[in-house]
Amino acid sequence: MTPMLKTVTDTAPQVDSRPVQIQARGVDKVFNVPGHPVVALQNIDLDVRQGEFVCLLGPSGCGKSTLLNAVAGFQPPTRGSILVEGRPITEPGPDRGMVFQEYALFPWMTVAENVAFGLQIKKLPKAEIAATVERLLEKLHLTDFRNRYPKDLSGGMRQRVAIARVLALDSPILLMDEPFGALDALTRRTLQDELLRIWEEVGKTVLFVTHSIEESIYLADRIIVMTYRPGTIKRDIAVEMPRPRDAAAPEFNRLKRELAQLVMEEQQRFSQDEIRSVTAD
């Protein structure tokens, strides 16, 4: 369980004894776009400790998803290093489970079959697979939908299945790329609460990308505010409010105003860059 602290501060004054699980040092990512290189990330230094819930926050073009994909092993950095538990990341691995904004379910498989898929690839015993699937279907309130196909489910239910499929692999690190971005407000809050409940129960490390200031405050132990291209870390802020968090509380709204100012500065840079691009054309 996360300590119940009562203030909002930068992370420096707090001492966290948990081991560092994800470590980025001097990370740059440059994409070779025809005509000119695009610097997506520049000099990223970041530590994520075991069991932390960390949100990457910022406008479009700030490199949030690029950094997440680098941690996942999909896009290696151009310069610098990313370590997980002291080992360099060179490719995707079972220690890092990924949940995308798109549900990425197999449409020809039922809910239960989708959840079981990764376990079958690992060639686990059938009894173990069945027990794991049943446990996760119950945990994510999917038992009554076990024989349904993705096309028969709402967006929120599909995302529950996607989360269950990743949890089935029991990866110590959960990487989430705006998983609730396409959902309506009520479904989004329900799944946020479900995610927090599961996170507190199983103790995974979560690195979560979002555009939503309120979502980042509601979920995170720490919020990493990123700058518009090139993506750098603008602020690293600890959210030391007790859970469940009340969006109407004064401390919640103080942090919301602070983050809004930080993010809007970068959003304005993004908008100005778009205007320059249109003018140049």
Q: What are phi and psi of 178, to 5 degrees?
A: 45, 55
Alpha-carbon gap, residue 221 to 27, rounded angstroms: 23
Domain ranges of the chain: 19-95+171-179+205-271, 101-170
- Say if CB 162 and CB 100 are below 8 A apart: yes
Q: Is the pLDDT of residue 120 over 80?
A: yes
Residue 190 is encoded by which pair of tokens?
Answer: 């329900």
Give percent above pLDDT 90 in the chain.
77
Report H helices in 173-249: 185-202, 213-219
Task: Give the 3-state secondary structure of residue 8.
Answer: strand
**pLDDT at position 258, please?**
97
**pLDDT at position 276, please?**
65
The DSSP element (H or E) to which 150 belongs, if any, is none
Q: Is the pLDDT of residue 13 over 60?
A: no
pLDDT in tens, 214-256: 999 999 999 999 999 899 999 999 999 999 999 999 999 999 9
- Does the pTM of the predicted model rise above 0.85? yes
Angle between helices 126-139 and 155-168 (to 10 degrees): 140
In the numeric block, the tokens 């983050």 are attached to 259
Residues in the chain: 281
- Say if CB 22 and CB 87 are below 8 A apart: no
Looking at every residue in the chain, the average pLDDT score rounds to 90
Give percent above pLDDT 70 in the chain.
92
pLDDT band (50, 70, 90) for residue 281? low
Alpha-carbon gap, residue 18 to 185, rounded angstroms: 34
Beta strands at 233-240 and 222-226: parallel, antiparallel or unpaired: antiparallel
**pLDDT at position 5, please?**
36
Fold of 19-95+171-179+205-271: Rossmann fold (3.40.50)
pLDDT band (50, 70, 90) for residue 72? very high
Order of strands across the sheet that contains 87-88: 36-49, 20-33, 79-84, 87-88
What integer is the mean pLDDT of 255-269?
93
What integer is the mean pLDDT of 26-54?
94
Burial class for 259, CB neighbours closer than 10 Å (0-12, 13-18, 19+):
buried
Q: Is the pLDDT of residue 9 over 50?
A: no
pLDDT band (50, 70, 90) for residue 267? confident
Peptide bond into 125 cis (omega under 30): no
Q: Is the pLDDT of residue 1 over 80?
A: no
**Nearest-CA neighbor of 212 among 64, 17, 3?**
64
Residue 3 is encoded by which pair of tokens?
Answer: 């300590």
What integer is the mean pLDDT of 189-197?
93
Q: What are phi and psi of 32, to 5 degrees?
A: -85, 80
Residue 227 is encoded by which pair of tokens?
Answer: 């700058």
